[in-house]
Structure 1
């Protein structure tokens, strides 16, 4: 016998029955009690048994009541109980199961049947205990991972432009940012360079932790390209980003790692009332007097791709009151609505047309509430980022 052998508590007011049971179950660790009070004291102890064989008719508190008490106590509720009794009528058996027993063995004992039923219940108990240990281990590992990711979220959020900075440099605006997981593969960025204000909306490959890693790369690269190298033309920024991504991630045509990002970049020159735009898969929308102009992005990722031509740079004269929107694909790709379908680009653009006359703050609330209503009980399938700016 080893410390791993199960322990069985035998409870019977008959010394003869306890001896028979102990001998029949000699392969296990057994402890005995001759009444309900002693049985409960053992069951509540530090070295509680793995299984209890419990007599029904005993002096003082009977087996049914002992079973109910054990099942209502946090320390002993998981210990399986088999009733042993001479009362084998259906009413007594039902009463035993209602009290919380898992099985019923009648006296006089059939030793082979007794051993088989005990073995079955112990196997179930050991399997359940093992599952519980594994679940506890998984919960511990999951908590450590979640704690780490939540700390990573703080780092990622600290890397994004602060609200104070955005309110200082941007015109009237809103930013709707809803990561699918704790951390996000979508990110936004803004910077002043000379007379230009650069605004970026980006969607990195993947979401969650892999996407968040790529977003941190993207933020660092933008600081280098715009802040250090003072490149302000959107197309040139994306060209340079693509070069750095391909070089840093050692990408080539046969490379397994082809991660990158879809991006839209706007440069605003307030003095000249001119905006420039370039995009990789992510378009820009300009709304003026209930009319929408779509500036299409190039279908080339910011990574190694089949086509590696220079990106298109749009130059647009804007008027006071014009609204521009940069966004990733998370919002229009969300499943929901009455038919549980994607909103799609058409639905998203119609939503903007219906509401662009409101203030940017009101629009942000409208689009946030609509997204939650549209999604309903569905899971969010991707990170969501929408930036609206009134020029």
Structure 2
């Protein structure tokens, strides 16, 4: 149907009534049928009408039967039907609405009333059809975007260290990475160079597509800083990473783009049993003998900021069976639980303490299940990254 050229199917066994209706509705394209079979054939056709005016008393199938059949068929169920009949008792009117009609006009009808009711129902039909077209267009656009983002997810996942590589060079560990959307602003990175094992957990500004763009930047920059230039001290890695981010994104004090990342980096020297750590907002947690030590990160982002001091490099001797945890703020920031509040840092750290004695893969399962239980029916509010390593 177009706004200027709607079509109406007139169904009546009286040729006189059909002529009167056609004349009254001359501004529209009208199609006529003298019985239910003809009406259904037209309603099921490719050029289906936009509105049906249907008599009740007809030879063969009556109007109620025709209406029920049309409303139960996918080809015609969306066509509005107005009964136009001499049966104007309340029982007949109720029966008509129960059959699926949207309006009821009694004979002899008033021409002005007929035109007004037809115009109203056609306007409603046109608005509904327009909404359906817009919804379908939105679905099509959404599918294209979703398909593109899902392909981007494959690219992003391919940029992360492969599981076989991690199992080969890392101690016992688990990695919990749960994007809020399809792609993630959180990422992890692992490399072995100059007899040092470098492990990175990062949380880029934003989530979804903007966060994923920043994460790909971060992976590329880390390959350059560590892989190409062989820098292994965590503080120096973050210092250089901050400079590259500021220069690459052309960040200045008044610039609009101040995106960057929070990050924690450790360098493990297995020979001397020493961990070096530096962080931007993301702390390092170490559990030893059922006690937790917190090594605080600097409160300076990896981007343009109020402070541009060098990052602090912590040197931490470690012992066998120490548990080290790197994480983003997504897990402790999640709303849920019996009071629908954030888990917070305290709750998150207690969860680690309560379960640190288990093998790392089992801890990963525990933290995933707890997160789902805590979140419940709430939406996930941020990307989540937790890395656990047993020394």
**Normalising by structure 2, what TM-score?**
0.99
The equivalent of 2:42 in structure 1 is 42
The structural deviation recorded for 1:366 is: 0.5
What residue number does 1:196 align with? Answer: 196
- Counterpart CA distance in 2 for 1:345 and 1:164 is 32
Matches within 5 A, 1:79-228: 79-228=79-228
Structure 1: gaps spanning 5 or more residues: none
Q: Deviations over 1:25-84 (max 9, x none)?
A: 000000000000000000000100000000000000000000000000001000000001
Query: Does the C-alpha gap of structure 1 residues 238 and 3 become closer, same or farther in structure 2, counting only changes over 3 Å?
Result: closer
CA deviation vs aligned residue, 1:102-159 (integer Å, no higher than 9, x gap): 0000000100000000000000000000000000000000000000000000000000
Say if 2:40 is the partner of 1:62.
no
Task: Please give the secondary structure, in 2, of the residue aligned with 1:308.
Answer: coil
**How far apart in 1 are the matches of 2:4 and 2:322?**
75
Q: What is the distance in 2 between the residues matched to 1:364 and 1:90?
A: 67
Q: Distance in 2 between matches of 1:250 and 1:3?
A: 52
**Structure 2 counterparts to residues 232-311 of structure 1, below 5 A:** 232-311=232-311
Partner Cα distance (1:29, 1:90) in 2: 32
Aligned with 1:311: secondary structure? coil
| Deviation (angstroms), 1:185 | 0.3
After the TM superposition, which parts of structure 1 deviate over 4 Å for at least 4 consecutive aligned residues? Answer: 1-4
1:322-361 to 2 correspondences below 5 Å: 322-361=322-361
What is the Cα deviation at residue 3 of structure 1? 8.7
Matched, 1:367 2:329: no
Q: Distance in 1 between matches of 2:130 and 2:263?
A: 49
Retained in 1: the 8 A contact 2:177–2:385? yes
Tell me the TM-score normalized by structure 1.
0.99
Find the residue that maps to 1:351 and give its secondary structure.
helix
Alpha-carbon distance in structure 1 between the residues aligned to 2:71 and 2:145:
35
Q: Distance in 1 between matches of 2:162 and 2:121?
A: 60
Q: 1:325 and 1:3, CA in 2 relative to 1: closer, same or farther beyond 3 A?
A: closer
Matched, 1:388 2:388: yes
- Residues 279-301 of structure 1: CA deviation (Å, up to 9, x unaligned): 00000000001000000000000
Which whole-Å CA distance do the structure 2 matches of 1:163 and 1:125 have between them? 56
Distance 2:89 2:339 in 1: 57
Please give the alpha-carbon distance, in whole angstroms, between the structure 2 residues aligned to 1:221 and 1:68. 67
Distance 1:48 1:308 in 2: 70
- The answer on whether the counterparts of 2:8 and 2:28 sit within 8 Å (CA) in structure 1 is yes
Instruction: Give secondary structure in 2 for the equivalent of 1:286.
Output: strand
Rounded to whole Å, the distance in 1 between the matches of 2:271 and 2:386 is 26
Contact persistence 2:221–2:241 (CA under 8 A): yes
| Pairwise CA distance, 1:4 | 4.3
Distance 1:2 1:167, change over 3 A: closer
Question: Partners in 2 of 1:173 and 1:13 — Cα distance?
Answer: 81
Displacement after TM superposition at 1:194 (Å): 1.6
Q: Output aligned runs, 1:8-19, within 5 Å.
A: 8-19=8-19
Tell me the secondary structure at the aligned position of residue 258 of structure 1: coil
Q: Structure 1, residues 156-188: CA drift from partner, whole Å, max 9, x if none?
A: 000000101111110000001100000000000
Cα distance in 1 for partners of 2:4, 2:182 equals 41
2:3–2:126 Cα contact (<8 Å) kept: no
Once residues 120 and 4 of structure 1 are traced to their aligned partners in structure 2, the CA distance between those partners, rounded to angstroms, is 15
Structure 1 residues 175, 26: CA separation in 2 closer, same or farther (over 3 Å shift)? Answer: same
- RMSD between superposed Cα atoms in Å: 1.0
Equivalences, count: 391
Name the SS for the 1:339 alignment partner. Answer: coil
